[in-house]
Amino acid sequence: MKMDLVEIDANLLRNFIEAQGLSHSSLAGTLKVTTKTIQRWLNGSVRRLKPETLQNLAKALGVLPERLSRSQVVLSNRPIDRSLEELCSEHFYKRVRASNEWESYSRILKSYLHKDLRSSQQMVLHKHLGQTSLFLGELRSGKSHLDKALEIAHALHNIDEQIFILNWLAIRSELVGNIMLAMDYFKKSEELLPKTDNLACVADLYFKKGRVLFHLEHQEESVRLIRESIWLDYKRGSQNQVMISVKYFQLGGNYLRARDLKKAKVAFMRNLRCAEKAGWVRGQAYTYFCLGIIRLLEGDDYSEVRAHVGKAKRLRDNSHFHRLDTKVEQFEFFYCMANDLPEEAKNLLVKRMALVRPSRMHFAFAVLDSMFLGRRYPEHFRIRQTLVEKAKELFIKNGLKEALALLEYLNSVKSISKEDFIKRYRF
């Protein structure tokens, strides 16, 4: 007779154990199993448990067995947890984004995993944990939480949340270097749009798709979608200045890559205005670095460039940077390279490569920057050829022709001038 086994989610199990503050040995002692068995559950080498084992595990963690299961959703109509409702509200989330307190936010949210919550709050909790994990570079954990949130959203027939979660799954796919999968997620979101009249869903889809198209080198379509997303935010009266600032920053990045400095400056000034309203310190640092770079590219007086960059550095030093997004480091790297500061550029690049290691996409672009550094200052930096080959494979896989052409050019030369670096650099 075949025994029915239940598949468990290893990442959720890990989070529940952390939330309870249990050690592997104490949990193993409670369940009368070995610590090696616990490790096998956590690393995914053993994914299915007997129902009675699952019951005992859930009891030890103080949760319902269904909360550990990957295979089913049991809907619950428990009373609303007001503290979690506040933590997952839009105004609280935008404060976290403005302050970059992702690590603290993640720890607080994980403390709710063992609680018996109503299904709608379980969905929102996993969605917020998923997107927070992406900011922290925990891409596997992020997907696990987002998949769980999407599963509950399907069971609740919540179209709006399905769209938001699919969009985040697309961003996660882009980060791991699979843009085609990201576009598949966006296609699923677009198929759901006729079923909702929520402009926030449309704006979110347009912005995230525009961002991915930026990496896919479809500049015109990317600019159009991001501009429409910003327009929809203003049309629906959004007060989320942090998110509007993020969108203006991405729009400015599009124009900067195209070397349309006039439009880039306008976008970054609007980004700065929104970032100041929201108290987003890191966003202000982004802007001042970009404005300094624009003045440098325009050939302005060096004192003006230095004034913007100096302000950007002071703002950067007063913001948290332990997260996956490292735009400040990229812009400062360009500034150091353009001003013949190889040692500073090297230190920034090494730190950036360590931060973006979980994301194959961001790491490939960091490898591209390391090739610029190696060709400009061969005595200061050398990049392993194996890393160059991995970046090349990713560019080929995703059809990034401009990035691939630049990589092959840098591979073909032994040195480049400062002017050539400034001309060819890919923002």
Residue where a domain stops, chosen among 47, 67, 87: 67
Nearest CA among 64, 67, 73 for reference residue 151: 73
Q: Report the alpha-carbon angle 272-230-183, nearest 5.
A: 115
CB-side neighbour CA atoms (13 Å) of 218:
15
Of 14, 35, 67, the position where a domain reaches its end is: 67
For 102-127, the pLDDT digits (tens) are: 999 999 999 999 888 999 999 999 99
> Which residue, of 67, 85, 109, is where some domain finishes?
67
Q: Which two tokens stand for residue 377?
A: 């200052």
Residue 415 lies in a domain: yes
Domain membership of residue 44 (yes or no) is: yes
Q: Is residue 356 in a domain? A: yes
DSSP code, position 3: P
Hey, how many other C-beta atoms are within 10 angstroms of the C-beta on 144? 23
Residue 1 lies in a domain: no
Strands 48-49 and 6-7: antiparallel
- The DSSP code sequence of 79-136 is PP-HHHHHHTSHHHHHHHHHHT-HHHHHHHHHTTTTS---HHHHHHHHHHHHHHHHHT
Listed residue (303, 360, 367) closest to 333, CA to CA:
367
Residue 8 in 3-state DSSP?
strand
What is the DSSP annotation of 347-400?
A: HHHHHHHHHSTT-HHHHHHHHHHHHHHHHH-TTT----HHHHHHHHHHHHHTT-
The pair of three-digit structure tokens given for residue 132, joined into one six-digit string: 């927070």
Q: What's the pLDDT at 1?
A: 34
Residue 157 tokens, joined: 């027939």
Distance CA 205, CA 199 (A): 10
Residue 225 is encoded by which pair of tokens?
């979608």
Is the separation of the CB atoms in 425 and 375 below 8 Å?
Answer: no
Instruction: Specify if 366 maps to a domain.
Output: yes
Residue 35 in domain: yes
CB 186 within 8 A of CB 207: no
Q: Which two tokens stand for residue 345?
A: 């550029």
Residue 108 maps to a domain: no
Q: What is the pLDDT along the chain (427 residues), one digit of tens a residue?
A: 344 677 888 878 888 888 888 889 888 888 889 999 988 888 888 878 888 888 889 888 888 787 777 655 666 778 999 999 999 999 899 889 888 889 999 999 999 998 889 999 999 999 999 999 999 999 999 999 999 999 999 989 999 999 999 999 999 999 999 999 999 999 999 999 999 999 999 999 999 999 999 999 999 999 999 999 999 999 998 888 999 999 999 999 999 999 999 999 999 999 999 999 998 888 898 899 999 999 999 987 778 888 998 998 888 887 765 566 667 788 889 999 999 999 999 999 998 898 888 899 999 999 999 999 999 999 888 889 999 999 999 999 999 999 999 999 999 999 999 999 999 999 8
189 near 373, Cβ under 8 Å? Answer: no
Which secondary structure element, helix H or strand E, spans residue 242, and what is its range?
helix 241-257
What is residue 72's predicted lDDT score, i.e. its pLDDT?
A: 59
- Return the CATH number at 51: 1.10.260.40
Distance CA 327, CA 51 (A): 47
Whole-angstrom distance, CA of residue 199 vs CA of residue 186: 16
Does residue 37 form part of some domain? yes
Under a CB-based contact definition with an 8 Å cutoff, are residues 75 and 46 in contact?
Answer: no
pLDDT the model gives residue 74: 61
Domain extent, residue 33, equals 6-67
Give how far Cα 322 sits from Cα of 99, 200, 317, 374, Å: 12, 29, 12, 26
Q: pTM, whole model, 2 decimals?
A: 0.83
Number of domains in the chain: 2
